[in-house]
Amino acid sequence: MKKRYWIMLSLLGLAALFWGLHHLKCYNIYINQKYVAAAFSKEEAEAAFRSARMQLYENEGRFMSDMDTRISAGIFGTDAVEGNELTQRIYTELEQMSDASPEDGCRIKIGNYRATLPDEESAKWVIRQAVLHYVNLAEEKKEENRTSCRIEQIKIHDALSIEPVSASDEEITSPEEALRGIIDEMDRLKYGISFDRITTSEVYYEEEPVYQETETLFDGESEVYREGTFGVKEITASERFVNGVSAYRSVWSEAVRTEAVPAIIYIGTREMPEYGWPVEKASITSGFGERWGAVHKGIDIGVPMGTSVKAARGGTVLRAERIGTYGNCVIIDHGDGQETRYAHLSGILVNAGDEVVKGQEIARSGNSGRTTGPHLHFEIRVDGEPIDPMRLLD
Ligand SMILES: [Zn+2]
């Protein structure tokens, strides 16, 4: 009986000892290697630490982030406290530390402008926003038909600096106000933030026209034989922007996606003969070319009956007679494959075989043949083909 009693007592004693040891165990809180307080449990230590930080932020707008905190287990802590008292000890310590710390605020500086921001995070935000501001500004100068775009090599001028300062001694500027301030100063200095914008765009291009000489046109005349078509090139270029303003641009590569087709333009080489008006210059009542589904082979010049008709150029009279719908008609051969025709005449003053000079009177205008009223029908033919006489008349 006695033995069992002692065993019971020993067990109780051990239990008591363990219970006591458990309660004597404590958790020491260190901030930046300095002992601050001790708690009875790790959870209590952490909770107190969190609420001390929160109170400091609510009371003084300060948020301690850069510190080395450690909670380590110890035993026989005579100093362990709990609840408000624990929080208060941590709070007091944090408050002293933040007052003493020179690294709360962050001063941002460029040229003549400086501002102190609450912390480094907000200073970095200001710089990121300034970069964004200039990227947006550069975007206003956007290349057409751009297929890709990226920003590279963002550089911030050395003159822009941020440095830690003791915020308590400074007037704190809001990040928005600091952003306006540094942008104004960068714009004034014309330096600050530079970057490269690499864009790929599809650009239309043209080939130089191809000129071909032709006898079918007179000297000084030209005609588009074939229209050119645009080609498409893919151009990759890099453009350096300083404060959103383009400083220089260089083309990296150029690749043809669709070939341009050059225009072909005929250039006349035939010597331009000198023709004069067959009557005093008057209004053209009907021009050369397509008319009512047929081709009008000359021009109609509105002149009254009996107007003097002159040789437009010197030559030999080929025909001087009535020719079907032309009515009374004179044809002059100019000897170089070119001839002139004068139709609907009322009187003919030359005979076939006569040599005539430019400006010589050869007939009187009229209304003979198929007409709708008195006028002179005048033609110029080159190698048998009628051409628009207006090409050769002043
Ligand atoms: Zn006519």
CA of residue 34 to ligand 1 center, whole Å? 116
Give the pLDDT score at 63. 63
CA of residue 245 to ligand 1 center, whole Å? 66
Query: Strands of 105-110's sheet, edge to edge?
Result: 113-117, 105-110, 161-165
Residue intervals in the chain for CATH 2.20.230.10: 202-270
Asked if residue 389 lies in contact with residue 342, where contact means CB atoms within 8 angstroms, the answer is: no
CA of residue 222 to ligand 1 center, whole Å? 26
CA of residue 278 to ligand 1 center, whole Å? 14
Residues 6+ apart with CB under 8 A from 285: 300, 301, 302, 375
Region of 87 (left: φ > 0; alpha: ψ -120 to 50; beta: rest) is alpha
Give the pLDDT score at 24. 63
CA of residue 298 to ligand 1 center, whole Å? 6
Give the pLDDT score at 7. 58
- Maximal CA-CA distance, the chain: 173
Q: How many whole angstroms from its chain centre is CA 338?
A: 57
CA of residue 299 to ligand 1 center, whole Å? 6
Per-residue pLDDT in tens (0 to 9) along the chain, 394 residues:
456 665 555 555 555 445 545 556 788 888 877 788 888 888 888 899 888 888 887 777 666 666 777 888 776 556 788 888 899 988 888 887 765 554 578 899 999 899 998 888 888 889 989 999 999 999 888 877 888 999 998 998 888 888 888 766 668 888 899 999 999 999 999 999 999 999 999 989 999 999 999 988 888 899 999 999 999 999 999 999 999 999 999 999 999 999 999 999 999 998 888 899 999 877 899 999 987 788 899 999 999 999 999 999 999 999 999 999 999 999 999 998 999 999 999 999 999 999 999 999 999 999 999 988 999 999 999 999 999 999 888 7
CA of residue 370 to ligand 1 center, whole Å? 9
| Domain 202-270 indexed as CATH 2.20.230.10 | yes
Task: State the pTM of this model.
Answer: 0.47
For residue 381, which of 268, 285, 298, 287 has the smallest C-alpha distance? 298
Q: Give the H or E element holding residue 2.
A: helix 2-24
**Beta bridge mates, 394:** none
Residue intervals in the chain for CATH 2.70.70.10: 284-391
Q: Which residues of 256-295 are buried (b: 16+ CB within 10 A; e: fewer)?
A: eeeebebbebbebebeeeebeebbeeeebeeebeeeeeee
CA of residue 378 to ligand 1 center, whole Å? 7
CA of residue 352 to ligand 1 center, whole Å? 22
**Beta bridge mates, 378:** 299, 342
Q: Side chain identity at 106, as an amino acid letter?
A: C
CA of residue 294 to ligand 1 center, whole Å? 12
CA of residue 315 to ligand 1 center, whole Å? 22
CA of residue 286 to ligand 1 center, whole Å? 7
CA of residue 293 to ligand 1 center, whole Å? 14
- Which residue in this structure is represented by tokens 């009229």? 366
Q: Side chain identity at 166, as an amino acid letter?
A: S
| Domain 284-391 indexed as CATH 2.70.70.10 | yes
